[in-house]
Structure 1
């Protein structure tokens, strides 16, 4: 079978990724072999081939965690799936719950174990979920990480309520899913970006308001102005770095900041004063578990939600998909088509 592997750390994906031939994996007890059709990329995937995410990972490694395919064969004791079922991979593997962030299992696809940029994969049955019938393979492949992270940030625990104001940073995969879920919940949304064309697309997708942070670098002040000095109820913080102090300023008393990404850096100098005085809740989250994934998929199906796929690349164009993601050019998700239906 054809697959891509990361065989050494490099700055450019063209130097790190190599196409190889491997033997199709056979499913053991409790395992499922899936014929992959589509895979989608996340920012984490850039950091992995550069050695920034888990520097000690053993190489070579098949990358990517998010994929959709067809069950081809099952091992003994598998009852949940049969050949022909269409499934998506879960981010966490090797745990009965699918590997919640609280679990002692931190085995993830495309990192601690081989991922889905391959014609076939074999994973535990607990590492798969059925996908909504109305989605294409490309659309379904985007749910695993970006979709579930946004769902977790807005709908799990203390979920958003209709009429609340949600501030969304950027227009990447997690951010666009957050916009879609916030709209389904009846929230007012404010989207930040440096690009007018992306902000226009966000408005067409239903964003209530947008702010170009290149033209308005003190965006936290503009957010306060637009909320009559109150601040937003919740921030989808995907930037990190110098963005976090601004997010604290833009958040209302008793509001929440969902810390999801580190696009501008993993370190931030933050005054604790606004956290204390405004009683702001900072919540870090890492995707979500399998039961959460199933809940999200029920909502996606009930509302006929369609994930936003910016571009679909052929299997041979996988390196170019990485490069487009690295340029920050995507609106929503980038997908690699591994096989046609």
Structure 2
């Protein structure tokens, strides 16, 4: 079978399509014929060799994908042949809180990922996907969607009376927007692109701010909600965290998800966090049980992921370059 693999050295120039051995099923595993994959910023970092010590070569990258069960290994009974399923991001995180056992091992990092024609996966590390989604749409769920879901509903309790600030228009951001509007929350979204902000408006965003035109966007947040927002999806990192802290209300909640502007900062206003009872919560994807709860929500509300562009299996390097360019609005996907 064919798979995209980093064989010896990291770097996109070293990601090549290879003929690799067909998976042999172990006890409790299922064989998935992959139909589609989607890319995350984390995949760019992994291929570049900057994700951490758990990532070794050779490696099949990418965590997100969907396919159909075509074979069951010994004692595998959860999914009949023909069932459409996705592997989960953290194969050992089934339920409850994260532990050292379930983190940081993840698909496309510590383990071979989804950029292959077939995958052998423990059946306990998979979920069924909503029937109303296409393969490409379903492939976008395991990382970006579940991260947004965990931030809003597993580690917080977003409801219709709440206000939410979302930074950017990437995968996590747009899933957060879709989920928030499904429960009736008010949403302000930021971007450097007026075109992307207009598209976010079409998806239901109530307020938009171009942070190039308004670099102190916290003032815009306070002009909409004088006491500050209830929740903030913090995706920027070092250069945006201070503004998030100054934009959230007393007792508010900041979901720290991304570090797109860097990992170091010297201007975190610690007294504000203390005096205003602000909760900052790191978010790292989620468990299988959370994935299943999210899928029930997606089914109930008939939510459709935003797909920017789909590449074919022979165009994987081009897909990575397109993601890196930042032109996308929504998910960048691979169709097998």
Q: Structure 1 length normalisation: TM-score?
A: 0.95
1:33·1:72 contact (CA, 8 Å) conserved in 2? yes
Asked if 1:152 corresponds to 2:182, the answer is no
For 1:185, the equivalent position in structure 2 comes to 183
Name the structure 2 match of 1:141: 139
In structure 2, relative to structure 1, the CA distance for the partners of 1:237 and 1:260 (3 Å cut) is same
2:152 is paired with a residue whose SS is helix
Cα offset, 1:79, TM superposition: 1.4
Partner secondary structure for residue 108 of structure 1: coil
Q: Distance in 2 between matches of 1:263 and 1:142?
A: 20
* Unaligned residue ranges in structure 1 (runs of 5+): none
Contact 1:233 1:255 (C-alpha < 8 Å) held by counterparts:
yes
1:236 corresponding residue in structure 2: 233
Q: Residue deviations 1:27-84, cap 9 Å, x none?
A: 1111111000000001110111112111462201000000000001111111111111
Distance in 2 between residues matched to 1:252 and 1:190, nearest whole Å: 14
**1:105 deviation in Å?**
2.6
- Give the Å deviation of 1:127: 1.2
| Corresponding residue number in structure 1 for 2:19 | 21
What are the residue-to-residue correspondences of 1:31-180 with 2, within 5 Å? Answer: 31-55=29-53, 57-94=55-92, 97=94, 101-106=98-103, 107-180=105-178
1:273-332 alpha-carbon deviations (Å, 9 max, x no partner): 110111100000100000000000011011111001100100111111111111111111
Could you tell me how far apart the structure 1 residues matched to 2:174 and 2:54 are?
32
1:196 alignment partner in structure 2? 194
> For 1:102 and 1:283, how far apart are their aligned partners in 2?
16
Cα gap change, 1:117/1:100 in structure 2, threshold over 3 Å: closer, same or farther? Answer: farther
Contact 2:95 2:290 in 1 (8 A): no
Answer yes or no: is 1:313 the counterpart of 2:308.
no
- CA distance in structure 1 between the partners assigned to 2:10 and 2:128 by the alignment: 35
Q: What does residue 208 of structure 2 align with?
A: 210
Moved more, 102-111 or 307-316: 102-111
Check whether the contact 1:40–1:141 (CA below 8 A) recurs between aligned residues. yes
Say whether 1:6 aligns with 2:6: yes
- CA drift of 1:8 comes to 4.4
Helix, strand or coil for the counterpart of 2:66?
strand
Equivalent residues of 2:130, 2:138 under 8 A apart: yes
Moved over 2 A (4+): 7-11, 98-103
Whether the 8 Å CA contact 2:92–2:101 is kept in 1: the answer is no
Deviations along 1:133-184, one digit per CA (max 9) or x if unpaired, are 1000000001100010000011114311212110000000000000000001
Where 1:336 maps in the other structure, the secondary structure is strand
RMSD: 1.4
Cα shift readout 1:92-136 (whole Å, capped 9, x = no counterpart)? 1145x1796335133211000100100001011111100111000
Q: What is the TM-score with the length of structure 2 in the denominator?
A: 0.96
Q: Distance in 2 between matches of 1:315 and 1:49?
A: 17
**Contact 2:54–2:109 at 8 Å: present in 1 too?**
no
Q: Could you tell which deviates more after superposition, 97-106 or 290-299?
A: 97-106
SS of alignment partner, residue 327 of structure 2:
coil
